[in-house]
């Protein structure tokens, strides 16, 4: 999944940066991130501005 690859490359990537790299709308990125969070694939640690993403599992 492209979003997971981008997170692996940069744990501090923002949703706006994901939008630009994936060439999709911000709403699409938010929907993808919520889905991955609910399924336990990714986790956010720290604040929304200075936090970073962690990939918990690679299940898609």
Q: How far apart are CA 16 and CA 52, in angstroms?
A: 14
Q: Which residue ranges form the domains of the chain, and what is each CATH number? A: 2-55 (1.10.10.10)
Please say if the pLDDT value at position 43 is more than 90: yes
List alpha helices for the chain, DSSP H. Answer: 2-9, 15-22, 26-38
**pLDDT given for residue 59 in this prediction:** 60
**pLDDT given for residue 49 in this prediction:** 84
**pLDDT given for residue 16 in this prediction:** 95
pTM: 0.86
**pLDDT given for residue 58 in this prediction:** 72
Q: How far apart are CA 60 and CA 47, in angstroms?
A: 25
User: 12-38 pLDDT, tens per residue?
Assistant: 999 999 999 999 999 999 999 999 999
Q: How far apart are CA 22 and CA 4, in angstroms?
A: 11
**pLDDT given for residue 45 in this prediction:** 94
């Amino acid at each position: 999944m492209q979003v997971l690859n981008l997170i692996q490359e940069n744990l501090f990537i923002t949703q706006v940066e994901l939008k630009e790299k994936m060439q999709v709308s911000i709403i699409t990125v938010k929907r993808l991130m919520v889905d991955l969070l609910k399924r336990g694939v990714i986790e956010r640690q720290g604040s929304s501005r200075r936090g970073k993403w962690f990939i918990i599992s690679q299940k898609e």
